[in-house]
Amino acid sequence: MDRAWVGRLGLWLVAALLVASPAHARVAPRCFGAAARDPEHPCTNPRLRLTVVPTPDQAPLIPNIDCVREKVTEAMATCAIGAPDGEPVALIGDSHAQHWRPAVGVVAKARHWRVFDITVPHCLLTTTPSGIGPPFPTLCPQWDADVIAWLTAHPEIRTIILSANALQPITAPAGASRYQVRVNGLLERLGQLPPSVTSLIVIRDTPRLRLHTYDCVRRAMRDRRPAGRVCALPRKFALPRDPLVAAAQLQTARAAQIVDLSAHFCSATECFPVVGGVLVHRDVDSHITKLFARTLGPYLARAISSGA
């Protein structure tokens, strides 16, 4: 049997175990996934140089969200992860908050949290009108109202985790700065949170990719070239300013911690579609893969614990 093929099979088994259960994280190769770009502990594993797990064709078939959601209102549903008797925390935002769920699950285990996922695709906590077609211009304001009502009815939830697509389509007045319109809408809605919410943890949005990035990764795999380096994107393109981060920093009603894990995706000049042998994105909407999110979990936990 071909030795290289055996090596790839072994890595696939590792990936499958990591996706299936965080308890198997100990079997991961050295420097696997986000560990390869840990700024506090630099790590290099030449054996992962040509590894890409999952492949671009397999990644979209692996769902990021696997908890059972329960309908609360017509616009809002929730599911819970973590210790049943843990400290209640809420994860709120659009699909760019949803894709953090595997990493948040690692944090929940480490901190004995019970995390209520009340995310919904394409909706943000904002007063800025959606720029996406129906039903979102009416669905999203209703979801916002339902989320605030739900938080008000659950004063035991003092901490919320927020993340969002930094380029979520909006409707803005002609000639207005779309970035500033985004910031203003988010800031206004954050000001409407109930006083029982005393702490915000805002995770900076993840890098985006180009439509042809997957094709580049496929070619690199075929030609046995390191896809992460060959298909890297300029950091200036991949990491636009995050209006949610700006809004959280401007609000003064409650403590706000900004968590920026961009170093695990990017260097000072480039962002990489494959890190530590793991494919970063699962689709062209720039959602991160379940496997890469899980490898980010320990670093999200570290950042939250350090307050950095």
Radius of gyration, CA atoms only, the chain: 19
Which is more confidently placed, 10 or 252?
A: 252
**For residue 306, what pLDDT band results from cuts at 50, 70 and 90?**
confident
Mean pLDDT within 72-80: 94
Q: Give residue 25's pLDDT.
A: 47
Helix (H) or strand (E) holding 217, with range, is: helix 213-222
In angstroms, the CA 102 to CA 92 distance is: 14
pLDDT 10s digits, 194-235: 999 999 999 999 999 999 999 999 999 999 999 999 999 999
Q: Identity (one letter) of the amino acid at 236? A: K
Mean pLDDT within 155-165: 98
Mean pLDDT within 257-283: 98
Note whether residue 41 is domain-resident.
no
Termini Cα distance of the chain: 48
Note whether residue 161 is domain-resident.
yes
In angstroms, the CA 105 to CA 167 distance is: 25
Note whether residue 29 is domain-resident.
no
Q: Give residue 26's pLDDT.
A: 55
Residues pairing with 115 in the sheet:
81, 89
pLDDT 10s digits, 241-261: 999 999 999 999 999 999 999
Q: Give residue 67's pLDDT.
A: 78
Note whether residue 223 is domain-resident.
yes
pLDDT 10s digits, 120-155: 999 999 999 999 999 999 999 999 999 999 999 999
Note whether residue 177 is domain-resident.
yes
Among 215, 211, 208, which residue's Cα sits nearest to residue 99? Answer: 208
Q: Identity (one letter) of the amino acid at 88? A: P
Q: Kindly report the CA angle at 76 between 70 and 78, in degrees rounded to 5?
A: 35
Please say if the pLDDT value at position 63 is more than 70.
yes
Among 171, 99, 98, which residue's Cα sits nearest to residue 131? Answer: 171
Note whether residue 96 is domain-resident.
yes
Q: Considering its fold, how many domains does the chain have in total? A: 1
Q: Give residue 28's pLDDT.
A: 86
Note whether residue 187 is domain-resident.
yes
- Which residue range forms the structural domain that includes residue 84? 57-306
pTM here is: 0.91
Q: Up-side HSE of residue 234: CA atoms within 13 Å toward CB?
A: 3
**For residue 265, what pLDDT band results from cuts at 50, 70 and 90?**
very high
Q: Up-side HSE of residue 197: CA atoms within 13 Å toward CB?
A: 26
Among 47, 152, 70, which residue's Cα sits nearest to residue 116? Answer: 70
Helix (H, G, I), strand (E, B) or coil at 83: coil
Q: What CATH number has the domain bearing residue 120?
A: 3.40.50.1110
